[in-house]
Amino acid sequence: MIDPILSAREDRLKEIESCVSSQNLVLLIKPNIPGPDKNTTEAHLLVRLFHHLIQTSFSVLTSTPFESADGPYQLISLVPSDANEFKKKMIHLEDTHPLGRFIDLDVFDSYPVSLSRKSLGYTPRQCYLCELPAAQCVRNQTHPLTDLLAFVKISVFDFLKKEMEDAIKDAMMKELNLEHKFGLVTPTSHGSHPDMDYDLMIKAQDAIMPYFSSLFSLGYTSDNLSDLFFLARPLGIKAEKLMLNATQGINAYKGLIFILGLIILSSGYTLRQNQPFSMIFQNIKEMTREIFNDFEESPDTAGKNAYLFHGLSGIRGEVKNGCPSVQSALLLTITSGHPLHELLIHLILVSEDTVFLKRAKSYPFYLKVKTDIEKINPNDSTDLIRFTKYAIDHDLSFGGSADLLVSTLFLKSIRHFFK
Q: What is the mean pLDDT of the chain?
A: 92
Verify that 318 and 199 share a domain, yes or no. Answer: yes
Q: Which of 143, 170, 189 is the last residue of a domain?
A: 143
- 24, pLDDT greater than 80: no
101 and 186 assigned to the same domain = no
Task: Check residue 1 and give its pLDDT.
Answer: 58
Residue 394's domain comprises 150-417
Model pLDDT, residue 268: 98
Q: How confident is the model at residue 13 (pLDDT cuts 50, 70, 90)?
A: confident
User: Residue 17: pLDDT band by 50, 70, 90 thresholds?
Assistant: confident
Is a pLDDT exceeding 90 seen at residue 32? yes
Q: Residue 296 has what pLDDT? A: 62
pLDDT higher at 121 or 1: 121
Give yes or no: residues 245 and 359 share one domain. Answer: yes
Does pLDDT of 41 surpass 60?
A: yes
CA distance 278 to 42: 19
- Give pLDDT, residue 334: 74
Count the domains in the chain.
2
The predicted model gives 65-69 an average pLDDT of 94
User: Rounded mean pLDDT of 93-107?
Assistant: 96
Predicted confidence band of residue 290 (pLDDT cuts 50, 70, 90): confident
Domain boundary among 121, 143, 165: 143
Residues 129 and 234 in one domain: no
Residues 31, 129 within the same domain: yes
| Same domain, yes or no: 171 and 92 | no
Check pLDDT > 60 for residue 391.
yes
Nearest to 168 by CA among 245, 55, 259, 46: 259
Q: Return the minimum-mean-pLDDT range out of 192-201, 257-266, 335-344, 383-392.
A: 335-344
Tell me, what's the pLDDT at 299? Answer: 54
Question: What's the pLDDT at 131?
Answer: 85
Q: What is the CATH number for 125?
A: 3.30.70
Q: Note the pLDDT of residue 310.
A: 72
Give mean pLDDT, residues 354-383.
93
Q: Is pLDDT above 90 for 295?
A: no
pLDDT in tens, 116-168: 898 899 999 999 898 899 989 989 999 999 999 999 999 999 999 999 999 99
Question: What are the pLDDT digits (tens) for 228-251?
Answer: 999 999 999 999 999 999 999 999
pTM: 0.93
pLDDT tens by residue, 48-66: 999 999 999 999 999 999 9
Single out the residue in 103, 123, 143 at which a domain terminates.
Answer: 143
- Same domain assignment for residues 215 and 240: yes
CATH number of the domain that 203 lies in? 1.10.4200
* pLDDT range class, residue 297, cuts 50, 70, 90: low
pLDDT confidence tier of residue 227, bands split at 50, 70 and 90: very high
Same domain, 90 and 52: yes
Is 23 a residue whose pLDDT tops 70? no
Residues 74, 195, single domain; the answer is: no
pLDDT at 377: 94
Q: Are residues 296 and 199 in the same domain?
A: yes
Contacts of the segment 82-91: beta carbons below 8 A, 24+ positions apart: 83/25, 83/107, 83/109, 83/115, 84/115, 84/120, 86/25, 86/27, 86/58, 87/115, 87/120, 88/120, 90/27, 91/117, 91/120, 91/122
Same domain, 334 and 241: yes
What does the pLDDT read at residue 337? 58
Residue 18 reports pLDDT greater than 90 = no
In a 10 Å sphere around its CB, with 0-12 CB exposed, 13-18 middle and 19+ buried, how is residue 6 labelled? exposed
Residue % of the chain over a pLDDT of 90: 76
Backbone angles phi, psi at 135, to 5 degrees: -60, -35
Query: Same domain, yes or no, for 101 and 240?
Result: no
